[in-house]
């Protein structure tokens, strides 16, 4: 038996299995790894930061939805727990790495407890009950976040300072590196990029482990999995806890990136539906590569579709109707059209469709 390569160990032998997908993943990795040098400027760095965070968040949701087969509407709640854990500690004036670590540890403990409690209570019955339970608990958490002003800042949220090394005024080296000043913004970005990459690879290892294979077996036929001796409730609850904890880490990264947190920034239902769920579905559920591709597509569309439409509308100024049709104020309409088109032509997601094409090629040539 040959030993797997370093790349194989990193990605748990779960290769893209499609040249186009492999190319997209390489482009995404190189683009994010070198983003401060390839795309200088505040806005591109903010976009790259958000992509890293939402790749991790969408991947954590895919563990629950794609690999376990249960629909949760409360994943943004755990995202908010992580953001508030860091924000509450730092907003109290305790600026330091230890404050961030304590806040994150408390948020992780809360997320694990809530996820385990929801799973053990509601996963014994029909899946729709679990979905409604997560929605109810998430709504309750959002109400608490908006009303507990002394702790969470209410609807105004919390602003805070980060440790000095992560502040924009910090300089790691005096001279620019390849024309880029290595300041606190760059260090913050690479902290977020490195953390997101490490936990994405960890999730990839988990879903390709024997535990992950059991989750997939439960997703396909829970009665057969139960007959083989596997506890469906226990495995689904553990998957929910893992997904919740990784989402909590993603929320902490969001708070660090924004130096602010509020209910709308991390716990709103729009984040759950318009971002997390769409990223997993459009990219392809049950792959982890799917949420990665979905996060890149959706975040880029959210940031650059409107400016692109403004350019297109100006270029079509000599034509009737078309400038108004592509007016930048209608970017949400075209964003919806883009999503519907992708879902229609790629019902199994972008990654699922690409892998299906690769799997069908040998049969065609035969």
pLDDT digits (tens, 9 = 90+) for 24-73: 999 999 999 999 999 988 899 999 999 999 999 999 999 999 998 888 89
Write down the pTM of the prediction.
0.92
Could you report the per-residue pLDDT of 206-241, keeping only the tens digit for each?
Answer: 999 999 999 999 888 888 888 888 888 899 999 999
| Cβ pair 242, 206 in contact under 8 A | yes
- Nearest CA to 16 among 228, 290, 250, 208? 290
pLDDT (tens digit per residue) in 168-191 = 888 888 788 888 888 999 999 999
Domain positions in the chain: 35-268
Looking at residue 128, what is its pLDDT? 78
């Amino acid at each position: 038996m040959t030993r797997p390569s370093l790349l194989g160990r990193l990605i748990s032998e779960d290769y893209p299995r499609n040249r186009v997908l492999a190319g997209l993943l390489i482009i995404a990795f190189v683009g994010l790894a070198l983003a401060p040098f390839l795309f200088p400027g505040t806005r591109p760095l903010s976009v790259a930061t958000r992509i890293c965070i939402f790749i991790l968040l969408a991947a954590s949701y895919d563990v629950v939805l794609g690999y376990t087969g249960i629909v949760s509407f409360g994943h943004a709640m755990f995202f908010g727990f992580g953001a508030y854990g860091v924000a509450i500690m730092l907003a109290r004036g305790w600026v330091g790495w230890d404050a961030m670590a304590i806040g994150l540890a408390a948020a992780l403990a809360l997320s694990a407890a809530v996820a385990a409690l929801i799973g053990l209570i509601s996963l014994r019955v029909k899946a729709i009950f679990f979905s409604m339970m997560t929605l109810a608990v998430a709504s309750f958490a959002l109400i608490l976040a908006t009303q507990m002003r002394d702790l969470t800042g209410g609807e105004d949220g919390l602003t805070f300072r980060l440790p000095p090394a992560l502040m924009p005024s910090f300089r790691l080296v005096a001279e620019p590196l390849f024309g880029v000043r290595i300041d606190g913004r760059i260090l913050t970005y690479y902290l977020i990029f490195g953390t997101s990459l490490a936990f994405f690879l960890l999730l990839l290892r988990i879903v390709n482990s024997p535990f992950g294979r059991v989750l997939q077996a439960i997703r396909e036929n829970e009665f057969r999995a139960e007959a083989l001796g596997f506890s469906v409730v226990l495995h689904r609850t553990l998957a929910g806890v893992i997904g919740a904890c990784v989402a909590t880490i993603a929320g902490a990264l969001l708070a660090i990136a924004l130096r602010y947190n509020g209910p709308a920034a991390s716990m709103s239902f729009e984040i759950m539906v318009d971002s997390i769920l769409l990223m997993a579905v459009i990219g392809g559920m049950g792959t982890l590569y799917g949420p990665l591709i979905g996060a890149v597509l959706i975040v880029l569309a959210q940031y650059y579709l409107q400016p692109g439409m403004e350019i297109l509308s100006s270029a079509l100024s000599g034509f009737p109707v078309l400038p108004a049709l592509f007016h930048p104020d209608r970017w949400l309409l075209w964003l919806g059209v883009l999503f519907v088109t992708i879902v229609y032509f790629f019902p199994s997601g972008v990654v699922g469709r690409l892998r299906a094409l690769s799997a069908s090629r040998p049969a065609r040539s035969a």
